[in-house]
Structure 1
């Protein structure tokens, strides 16, 4: 969003007191930014959920709230929760009262929007005029209430419980930070001389987003969406290969010092997914590239294809559990026990472990609309805490991400979130080798 609200912090706090707890505003439309074009207001704000319309004068703020969405066409709306409000000056409190009985709560046409008969905002020749009902107690002086030219008009979505007053993690959403994160990834060097590549293993249940994360990193680096080919599943889903993905700074370029590894999904049982034995064999470097995992047939370490004495460069240097924020409550008890058992075994190998929490945009509407709200979202914060409890790791070990799934182009803010997750993975590897 490239424009800021005229609403100062103190006035916002007073307006927030008109609502139930845990309500936040998100600015969707600012009149002066869009040349007071009311058609643009309808285009941007229709069907966006509960909203508050605010009109500004020199010393006064008036407005109205509708719990229902702004309709996308000319119509009247009934809403028992609709109200209008006023805020006279910095020293007063905001007052509210229900829309007059006997009138529809809200009405819009091509040129105006009205809250009952209390407040009407109409557009004319690039300006907004306001009519206030003479019988409503707006707590303002007895000046003319008809067709008063206002200084500014804003429409905010009212997001009940979605956003916190401030971020619970800091992350600069700037082009400079994106460039710095990308540069640090491309120029990364392993912490010890005998390693030219660090290998990161992604583990998680089906649909968690392991392959999508790999594709998202490539997309963010290349500057366009990368669609990875299938990674070797049979139609019945019983076989999957160990697949390593060297990461390149640009398409066709030389690999950087990071390789991501994908394997068979974790299942509710060892018969329906990757077994503990096979996972540890991969982490220890015994499993060969392209190994096909099969239910009931664990990796035979005495096989000629297996590496009995792997070098450090053959091993996994960090394990990342990928969990789907939408599915945390539906993961079965056996899957959770499997993850925690894997965690204990991997800890004994002194391999760092993190959790990648995917699909956070699908559990929070604000994040779906703008990924920059990810660390201000109360819902995402709760999901991160749940994922930490499920996996048995500190909250700081859980990294929320939004993978590129349906997009046709990359964007700066999503790149920043992806690159920052990779940075934490590389930090974990470096810190482990320093111990």
Structure 2
């Protein structure tokens, strides 16, 4: 006969709300039906699980662990909870706590001092449960103990349930990112203090390349919004549809409104076309990268830039050239782009490689392909769909997955968001690092040639 959990449907639904992704629960252990000594053996091959202590009052308390206790050490994702049929309260450990949040030894699993679950052996084996207030988990529980041999004291049952993630979200991220205010400020400060490795270069010029609607101008506005700490709205520079704005526009990113310029300049141009009749040509893109195109130059499809064009730089300096190329692709469309666009972008990628210019792929609109990421971008590296789209983008460009970075641009928001800021600043950090690595390699090569 199958054993059924004491969680009724309403209470289980309240428990599920504590998780930001869909989950299923499967009963592994029930103290009233299983031998108490087998409690912790049920954890050996389980990735994530929930412990629920059912009290005679009808309420329940419990804990979540993201890994088996036999692995030892703290579990930063663990949390405690209070549970009723109408409400669930999540109690996470304090971010600044230096104490061990979770410990397992001598058949006892402890969450700070707030919750202890132990298998004790005397004349008989029994389960011992202890609750108390705690500084690590900030519980306000009064100190009380229960065991399953004294049900009259208020303990109804103890259950262990495995937790299975369903839907799009993976149980663990495949790229590690810390989503905290401190990380956001560290990334911002590192960006502001960044110095270009070349003494002759004060600013890194980064060219954004991509088809219509991919979010080039939005990315520039979003990075500026991160630095200004409020939404900025600058005019769009690129569209293929006449009479669209088609000029080269360079935007220096400042540390704050009216503040000093950072080492990053983002350059926008006319969008790439999905056929041969519209959009930026390969020759014009190459001319921009090599520094021949003057600021404000208006591109004309079918009439590429030449040495006879007004403002043409015959001998561009290092400050005029492009030092990194960003290829932007839309996560919603990455599998439906035309063959022509793919061939053009791969041709550009090959020519840019020949110029020793680093390249990165930005995958935009990732929040539009995954509901969890739409709710909070901190799930971007646990989303199966986003990972698949990133791999599709890498395959489309013929580049490694490590070259692909997901971003969420600000679009409808009225204020900035910590996690969105972190994702954008992480992309900026990767851009700066790519240019630094290239400049360092060029310095090494120059030194070797001189020797």
Q: TM-score, normalised by structure 2?
A: 0.65
1:204–1:322 contact (8 Å) kept in structure 2: yes
1:282–1:316 contact (8 Å) kept in structure 2: yes
Specify the SS of the correspondent of 1:327. Answer: coil
**Counterpart position of 1:249:** 255
Q: Does 1:309 align with 2:309?
A: no
In the aligned structure 2, how far is the partner of 1:299 from the partner of 1:397?
30
**Counterpart position of 1:131:** none
1:330-369 paired onto structure 2 within 5 Å: 330-369=336-375
Q: Which string of whole-angstrom CA distances, capped at 9 and with x for unpartnered residues, describes residues 271-290 of structure 1?
A: 21110010001000111111
In the aligned structure 2, how far is the partner of 1:205 from the partner of 1:264?
9
Specify the SS of the correspondent of 1:399. Answer: strand
Superposition CA RMSD, Å: 4.0
**Counterpart position of 1:370:** 376
1:165–1:376 contact (8 Å) kept in structure 2: yes
Comparing 346-355 with 378-387, greater Cα deviation is found at 378-387
Specify the SS of the correspondent of 1:297. Answer: coil
1:49 to 1:251, Cα distance in 2 relative to 1, 3 A: closer
**Counterpart position of 1:29:** 17
Q: Which string of whole-angstrom CA distances, capped at 9 and with x for unpartnered residues, describes residues 124-159 of structure 1?
A: 9x9xxxxxxxxxxxxxx9x99xx998999x9x9x86
In the aligned structure 1, how far is the partner of 2:363 from the partner of 2:155?
51
**Counterpart position of 2:422:** 416
Q: Which string of whole-angstrom CA distances, capped at 9 and with x for unpartnered residues, describes residues 167-204 of structure 1?
A: 11111112221111101111111111000111000000
In the aligned structure 2, how far is the partner of 1:330 from the partner of 1:403?
21
**Counterpart position of 2:328:** 322
Alignment: residue pair count: 332
**Counterpart position of 1:405:** 411
1:60 to 1:50, Cα distance in 2 relative to 1, 3 A: farther
Q: Does 1:262 align with 2:268?
A: yes
1:26–1:159 contact (8 Å) kept in structure 2: no
2:169–2:384 contact (8 Å) kept in structure 1: yes
In the aligned structure 1, how far is the partner of 2:190 from the partner of 2:313?
33
2:239–2:271 contact (8 Å) kept in structure 1: no
**Counterpart position of 2:302:** 296
1:209–1:358 contact (8 Å) kept in structure 2: yes
Deviation at 1:370, TM superposition (A): 1.7
Deviation at 1:89, TM superposition (A): 4.5
1:274 aligned to 255, 269, 280, which one?
A: 280
Specify the SS of the correspondent of 2:196. Answer: coil
Deviation at 1:254, TM superposition (A): 2.2
1:238–1:294 contact (8 Å) kept in structure 2: no
1:356–1:401 contact (8 Å) kept in structure 2: yes
In the aligned structure 2, how far is the partner of 1:150 from the partner of 1:214?
57
**Counterpart position of 1:214:** 220
Q: Which string of whole-angstrom CA distances, capped at 9 and with x for unpartnered residues, describes residues 268-308 of structure 1?
A: 23421110010001000111111111111111222241101
In the aligned structure 1, how far is the partner of 2:434 from the partner of 2:16?
39
**Counterpart position of 1:163:** 169
1:270–1:295 contact (8 Å) kept in structure 2: no
**Counterpart position of 2:289:** 283
1:2-41 paired onto structure 2 within 5 Å: 29-30=17-18
Listed as ranges, the gaps of 5+ residues in structure 2 are: 6-12, 44-83, 90-147, 442-451
In the aligned structure 2, how far is the partner of 1:351 from the partner of 1:49?
40
2:329–2:363 contact (8 Å) kept in structure 1: yes
Listed as ranges, the gaps of 5+ residues in structure 1 are: 1-14, 16-24, 31-44, 62-87, 94-120, 127-140
**Counterpart position of 2:232:** 226
1:370 to 1:239, Cα distance in 2 relative to 1, 3 A: closer
Deviation at 1:372, TM superposition (A): 0.9
In the aligned structure 2, how far is the partner of 1:272 from the partner of 1:235?
8
